[in-house]
Structure 1
């Protein structure tokens, strides 16, 4: 019996020791996780566009307690033709946005809404019926808006060059800007690149164009799933993600969101450019003038800007120091908010982080 009691005491002591070690390991792992996911700070600015009365909404995310970044660690997002930047690039899905992801990799990350979108100045034409005015916010003016945001960021961080990332129409904005301002751009990322069109547009109904168009979330969902095989639609967008995006996007336009059903207004300048240029076989600019490393990202079910545009654009990048593209399987034009979004995030992050030079 004494031996049995002694053995029990040893066993209890050993178990207690294991609990202490397990607790220490758990604490250490939690500390490592905290270190791997730094706290982020969000700041907001209204930046003059250069045209009288136009202010641009710029959002910034960076690590708490840090204010110094080199230009190769700074990135600016711009949105596409219909929706504002913040409900795409800084939408919390499963606890994280794309802005968060890049900022947690040690970057100073910005987004901008061009005039007429999101929290930027909405011109007086948007307070009137759409058919009373001509389309506005064409690509040329959007390039000017991006230029104002780039110069604001460069001055704020004392950086000569920064990275640019555009989605959809935003690829034309960023591509055209870079072609004119290679000296201000470190690397260029074009997600779903726009180029000469030989198929029908999903955003242009062919009707007479007013100053802006109104978009319902039901039509947005239909457009989103265009081209997705019927048996793949159910699990493409994780539960609640579309609703989170739709609610945030509708809320970004308080005036139109009060309609029944709620709507979102989007300037028609981009649609007019589509008719007069991309849909008419004419390019707005020459990608051959881009002289910075360039990365193209695309998804196989993108019916808005199909794969043939990606391939044609890639061939035009004749003067980039190096170029690359990735095609993501089982994704649409909006793969940024779908089950395979991490393939997009990780491939873009690798391009941003790498330090390559020809003939190394």
Structure 2
């Protein structure tokens, strides 16, 4: 595949160095440029540019003519981390809330607009990363041409089955507030957690028939490579700030919205996989109702697909996703 990659940093309005990987075609890049935003726990390359067959959404988009910027939000991957993350975790405020991360998106968007000469760019986000780019589109509608929201959470309903009042995420002394005493400012994550979550969603016994084992290996390596301290611990773990987790709790448990979707003025494509427990039909129905200024809204309920369909085997939803996104962006 004739794809070029370049790693660099940009600085946000509040002075944070944010890591970006540019993935672009060697030749014509006539399609709308795109910013790709990761989710709650893992940095951008782990989701969008794994060095294995069918592991790079960014490369597929670049092959179709898009210049893509993969962002590592503050506190993640190769971007600046708050100084507190060099100390042991503490039961203090969760670091790097979603509203702060919109500044990182803004720095990437402005750089991409200047680099391509385009007035507006498309945004794609995964999980709370989708919430983040939708919030950004509400704050800066003049800069956004399209939204692709993959496994999004909005906060339209407070009926999440696992992230709810009374769950481990809830403060037992003050129900309705994030359990800061337990989870604190940031987390050490084991690399087996995502694989376990992935296994639970695959509805067949032979997991290798659903996903390539090489994809799991590539994901593990990317997670460890995304934190320079990961291999100094036994077993290896990687750090992530808990700000997006607190926001996920607020939306899932209490039904509070971080922004209102009526402020979005671009076409929206929502991807809601059947086996994904994060993005829910009830939540997305409220979101769609609030999107009354968007010129078009597509809500794809991806049947027989997992939260990880971008990394599953192509016939397990990935090929259909690529085709639908290509049509949407045209």
TM-score normalised by the chain length of structure 1: 0.81
Partner residue of 2:283? 309
**The 10-residue stretch of structure 1 (305-314 or 163-172) with the greater mean CA deviation from structure 2:** 305-314
Larger radius of gyration: 1
Contact 2:4–2:23, Cα closer than 8 Å, also in 1: yes
Greater relative contact order: 1 or 2 (C-alpha under 8 angstroms, separation 6 or more)?
Answer: 2
Contact 2:98–2:243, Cα closer than 8 Å, also in 1: yes
Contact 2:163–2:252, Cα closer than 8 Å, also in 1: no
Q: Do the aligned partners of residues 257 and 213 (structure 1) sit closer, same or farther apart at CA in structure 2, a change above 3 Å counting?
A: same
Contact 1:81–1:169, Cα closer than 8 Å, also in 2: yes
**Residue correspondence of structure 1 range 33-72 to structure 2 within 5 A:** 37=1, 39-52=2-15, 54-64=16-26
**The 10-residue stretch of structure 1 (83-92 or 191-200) with the greater mean CA deviation from structure 2:** 191-200
d(CA) in 2 for partners of 1:193, 1:267: 19
1:178 matched to 2:155: no
Give the 3-state SS of the residue equivalent to 2:213 in structure 1: coil
Determine which of 260, 264, 286 is the counterpart of 2:238.
Answer: 264
Q: Do the aligned partners of residues 256 and 202 (structure 1) sit closer, same or farther apart at CA in structure 2, a change above 3 Å counting?
A: farther
Partner residue of 1:346? 323
Residue ranges of structure 1 left out of the alignment (5+ in a row): 1-36, 354-360
**Residue correspondence of structure 1 range 92-171 to structure 2 within 5 A:** 92-94=51-53, 97-131=56-90, 133-171=92-130
d(CA) in 2 for partners of 1:315, 1:232: 39
Q: Alignment length, in residue pairs?
A: 312
Q: Do the aligned partners of residues 126 and 281 (structure 1) sit closer, same or farther apart at CA in structure 2, a change above 3 Å counting?
A: same
Give the 3-state SS of the residue equivalent to 1:73 in structure 2: coil
Contact 1:202–1:304, Cα closer than 8 Å, also in 2: no
Give the 3-state SS of the residue equivalent to 2:240 in structure 1: strand
Deviation at 1:264, TM superposition (A): 1.5
Residue ranges of structure 2 left out of the alignment (5+ in a row): 170-178
TM-score normalised by the chain length of structure 2: 0.88
